[in-house]
Structure 1
Amino acid sequence: MLTVSIQKELPDFLLDVCFTIQEEIIVLFGPSGSGKTTILNSIAGLVTPDAGTIRLGDNMFYEQGKKPLPVQKRNIGYVFQDYALFPHMTVAQNIRYGIKEGKEVGLDELVATVGIGHLLDKYPHQISGGQKQRVALVRALATKPDLLLLDEPLSALDADTRKECQDELLRLQAAWKIPFLMVTHDREEAERLADVILTIENGKLAGEKRLVPDLATR
């Protein structure tokens, strides 16, 4: 379970949010510039909050007044909006980047599941947007994370590819059973993917909509 209760002073407003995630898909929904990506970056350790706490299971990522847990010790997968693939590396090299030697167990199965086995020797500029999204997903999951963060990973895709990748996300989350926290400003996408939609406006939680029964009550 991920518990987030943080405050961060931003140029236009104070980010002040509190929420909890179980093994489900939570979508942060709202307009651009409302603080959604800052929330993801705070969880990942790329941004340090001014106050509050961030905890995943027994691991305290951040607690006011104490040294934050380093990024590399948080065991988080992160899919960025632009996928952040290394252009000089092949798909295979991108996927294996960051994986400790001997920890590749199950990687071939994951590659096969997502259907990118035929792309392993290609470079990012040689594959489509949908294929890049799948590569980024595999790279994020290859380290066997306890939490997956996704920052508008489908926004640059055409409608058909976007739907295919939405299906892929739903299938992977059902298989991996870890919390997915995703940012989008597309309401249709939010309602298709989310177990819970958290609406963020000017750094505040402006609404919560649960679309499936709470895991604790199932």
Structure 2
Amino acid sequence: MYRLRAAVPAGAALLALATACSSPGGNSPSDSATATSTASAAASAGQGGADSSLPPRYTLTAPQAVGSAQQIKRNPGEGLADRMGVQLAALFPERTDSPVAAAFDINRVFYFAGISGSLPHPGNLGEQADLALRAVPAASSSSVAPTLSAAATYPSDDPRAVLRCAALTLHNTDRPLDVPVCAWADAWSVGVLLDYSSPPAEPGAAELTGAAQRTSLVREAARQPGL
């Protein structure tokens, strides 16, 4: 299991991210009501009360297996998952736990990173999932940064979680190729998956439905009961 330091990496990656992809900003008219509602939910959770709109409190770990895919040990590719986790920590400073990250191999590798928090998050979950997707291009070490397509919502096994997927276009080959990337967000955690389990596809042809299903499996395998 890999548990990373929640440190903000210095330099160009975050500056490029801030320039190319501005994070959701500004206060909506409902901010005060949302904050009050979140404070009540947090108080209820802290006192053992139940809030049916929230999934049970949990934390994340890097699972040893996801279905038949096993976590890769001491593989150089794990550095990408680690960098994705560091970027999540930078994008979600309010999610206070250290990020976790792992690479898995079934026939082709896929990469996971996630981060959780100790209080239910008040933000718009769709915006949270879209922000998590940005951790993947920001983590790239390619000389030509990959780009994300517009994200779409996919069915989630948990109605209290939002699952969003997009195509990550790689530009460091002789022609652009797309790879699926998916992210979930719920009250307690966000997670992101970069899925090379299918070969990179022509632009617009990435198989996102399978990646969405795999992301749900990763979320289920990564969740551990909270304290």
Shorter-chain TM band:
under 0.3
- Higher normalized contact order (CA 8 Å, seq sep 6+, divided by chain length): 1
Q: Using structure 2 for the length normalisation, give the TM-score.
A: 0.24
TM-score by length of 1: 0.24
